[in-house]
Structure 1
Amino acid sequence: MTETNIPPVTDHSIKRLRRSRTDRKLTGVCAGIGEYFDVDPNIVRIAAVLGAFFTGGTLILAYLAAALLIPES
C-alpha cells in the first residue's frame, strides 16, 4: 500500500458563506459575501447598488432571496 500525504479536513479550513451579524447595514448579505471572498464589504455594497440599477431591480430579488437562504454567522 502507498501512503498519501493528504491533510485531514478541519472545520477551520472550510469556508462557509454566512450573513454577518456585526458588519451589517440591512441584512448582512453584502458583508457576508465580502468576508467569504476576502473583499471589502463596502465594495460589495457599491457593486450591489450598481447591479440593482443596471439590471432594472432584478438584483434586488436576488438580494432578498440571499437574505432568506444564507444563514447568519
Structure 2
Amino acid sequence: MTNHLYRSNTDRMLLGVCGGLAKRYAFDATLLRVVLAVGCLFSAGTLLLIYLICAAVMPKERLYADSYGMGGAGWNHWGSGPAAGPYGGAPHQAPTTDAMMNDLEKAQLRKELDHYRAKVAQYEKGE
C-alpha cells in the first residue's frame, strides 16, 4: 500500500482514478470500476460527478522517479543530452507497441472499408 493517492498511468480505463484508488488501497481495479458503474446508475450520475471531481483534484502518477531527486531523468542523468547509442550516435528507438497496434488497426479498417465498398458497388449494379 502506497502513502499517496495518484491517478494511475498504467491501470487506467478513462482517467485513472479507479486504478489509483485500487493501487492505494490494495483493491481490484476492475471490481472498483464495476461498483462505480452500477453506483452511477443508481445515484442518477452523482458518482460520475464525484469521479470527475476526483480526476480534477488527484495528481497524475509519475512514470518513474530516481532516488536522487533528479526528476526521473532516467539512467542517463549524468549527461545533459539524450542517451547516445553504442557508437556515439542517436539512440535507436524501436516503435512502441501502441504505434504498431494503431498501424494494424488502420490496415484492418482499410481492408474492411474496401470490402464494404465493393459490396455496395455490387449492390448498386444490381447483382
Q: What TM-score does the superposition give when structure 1 sets the normalisation length? A: 0.79
* Other-structure match for 2:17: 29
The answer for unaligned runs of 5 or more in structure 1 is 1-12
Displacement after TM superposition at 1:45 (Å): 0.3
Residue 45 of structure 2 corresponds to residue 60 of structure 1 = no
Question: What is the root-mean-square deviation of aligned Cα atoms in Å?
Answer: 1.4
* Identity across matched positions, percent: 38
Letter in 2 for 1:24: R
Considering Cα pairs closer than 8 Å and 6+ residues apart, tell me whether 1 or 2 has the greater RCO.
Answer: 1
Distance 1:30 1:59 in 2: 12
Misfit runs of 4+, over 3 Å = none
Go from structure 1 to structure 2 and tell me whether the alpha carbon gap of 1:14 and 1:39 turns closer, same or farther (over 3 Å shift): closer
**Equivalences, count:** 61
Displacement after TM superposition at 1:14 (Å): 6.0
- Residues 20-68 of structure 1: CA distance to partner in whole angstroms, max 9, x if unpaired? 0011111000000101110010011001101101101100100000010
Q: What TM-score does the superposition give when structure 2 sets the normalisation length? A: 0.46
Distance 1:56 1:49 in 2: 11
- Aligned partner of residue 15 in structure 2, secondary structure: coil
Distance 1:54 1:41 in 2: 20
* Other-structure match for 1:40: 28
